[in-house]
Structure 1
Amino acid sequence: MKYQYITVEGNIGAGKTTLAHLLSKKLNSRLILEEFADNPFLPKFYDNPQQYAFPLELFFMAERYKQLKDMLHTKDMFQHITVSDYLFTKCLLFAKVNLPEEEFRLYQKLFDIIHQQLVFPDILIYLHAPVQKLQQNIRKRNREYEQSIPDEYLFNIQETYTSYIKQHNIKTIFIDASNADFLGNEKHLNIVLEALEKDYEGGQHYFSLP
């Protein structure tokens, strides 16, 4: 395996965690999963975004930083590959959408201080799905607080992700996940595994699923 640290990213409901689980199993890797359920502000945020956006994002940033620092700086003699279902920069991208300008500037200062202390992934797998598909997946997994997420919010998150990836020329396996079924269709998972065997220049490298 050319890549020792692989991150799976995408919008809410894109299938990040499912794919990260499957890749970790196939590659016999360490698995880092975002502990979003531990954030006490998440249900409150969906009810009242203006009041709870800032504590929500601060809590996420602190928890993600602690988890990544603990995991990535602890070597595992038996598992040399790490798969994560989130990119630390996700903190900044969601904060950009969720926070008013003054709060975002403060948040960005804090982010910049701690971001440089973390290792960046060797490669990013980005799952891109249309908002309609995301909403279907969100309804299917049936987390109560997610059921009223507006299409516009998902679209804004999507645009923020893709803009960041393109602007920073990140080495990315960019997958059209419109009809993704990594659990039920082994061909879809194999396409990702085969893509990880190749060496890439910086930038986006596009793959579609049959």
Structure 2
Amino acid sequence: MRWTLPNTLTALRLLAAPGVAVLFLYFSRPLADWFALLLFISAAVTDWFDGYIARTWALESKLGAMLDPIADKAMVLIALMVIVGYSSMSPWLVLPATMILFREVFVSGMREFLGSVAGTLKVTRLAKWKTTFQMVAIAVLFAQGVFEHYLAVSIEGLNTETVSAILNRESADLHGLLWKQQGMVYAGHLGLTLLWIAALLTLITGWDYFNKALPHLKDGK
């Protein structure tokens, strides 16, 4: 095994995946949301850099080829688990998250079963787009959490009538409630839209992998 720079970046990304969840155990919100957002974005950026460096500097290796998809899946699935766990369990969030989780488990199981012929399930360009949409959607949803909790902090101590008047633009917004609410709403809508696109791409690529695996799943006569 060669511990090259790309492999080191991939290993760090793999370690960052559970780190996103651990942050919520030791920090209160919205600080945990901020740290999770920054850690997730940093790890996602290394996903592009390690591949680029490996190809440009001819540092591709079997270790990197093995760790890279594992790190990507760990990042996405653990982050989704955290987001769903701290959400209101809206079906608009839970359903695409479930679709993504199911596909990743299903494809990983197929690859394990196929063993030596698992190379037939090579990562496609569409699958790379799927991963990109997943990561951007998760980053935006973490940002929504930041807006949501700053809004909650700003509202604390204000009576319902005052909050309603500010949000309805009937009173001066001295607490910055409007931009925090708008940030929360826009980030939420954008994050869910991107997550649904990622979920659809997830199902399409999963079906593509299943069709490619079918010839190897037939019983011999």
Quickly name the TM-score band, shorter chain normalised. 0.3 to 0.5
Using the size of structure 1 for normalisation, the TM-score is 0.32
Report the TM-score, using the length of structure 2 for normalisation: 0.31
In proportion to residue count, which structure has more helix? 2
